[in-house]
Amino acid sequence: MIESANRYRFFAGFFEMNLDRTDMRILRELESDGRISNQDLATSVALSPSACLRRVKLMEEQGVIEGYRCLIAPKRIGVAFEALVHVAMRPDIDDWHDSFVAAIQSWPEVVAAQVVTGESNYVLTVRARSLDHFSEFVMNKLHRARGVMSTNSSIVLATLKRDGSVLDLAGKPA
């Protein structure tokens, strides 16, 4: 029996899911190698393959594991330019949010988007083949989107950390 002190609490949807240390070890292994076989995963966390698979499936169903992805090196495929773009929306227009979200969902240049506090409403991570491609995106797509008042772009010179782990924060008080 696992004591509640050894469990971590996660909110998946509207209910709480408790994860024990074995679940956390499974998550660490999958985070390190999303292609690991269930057999190798089970061995590394000292479970039977069926018990391991059952835990993984439950974490997938509960939304703790959102998916598995391939990490692509953008520069290797000719997409070397990256910028962070702060977008401020016009306060005199009421219904810009839904149309702006639909627009950014359709733009392949936008690889991430967050709603933020402060002087801007959104921060977009934009990828492009070149500075010219980025400029074309800003002028012909972003500035023409309904409700956009202003943008402020910062060109990424170097990425020092990407895809850090949230597991070290789990279970710790805020």
Give residue-wise pLDDT tens across range 134-173. 999 999 999 999 999 999 999 999 999 988 888 888 765 5
For the whole model, what pTM was predicted?
0.79
What pLDDT sits at residue 173? 53
Residue 6 has pLDDT above 50, yes or no: no
Going from N- to C-terminal start, the domains of the chain cover: 4-61, 74-155
Residue 113 has pLDDT above 70, yes or no: yes
What CA–CA distance (Å, rounded) separates 9 from 24? 11
Q: Domain 4-61 falls in which CATH fold?
A: Arc Repressor Mutant, subunit A (1.10.10)
Can 4-61 and 74-155 be said to share one CATH topology?
Answer: no
Are the C-beta atoms of residues 91 and 84 closer than 8 Å to each other?
Answer: no
What's the mean per-residue pLDDT of the chain? 89
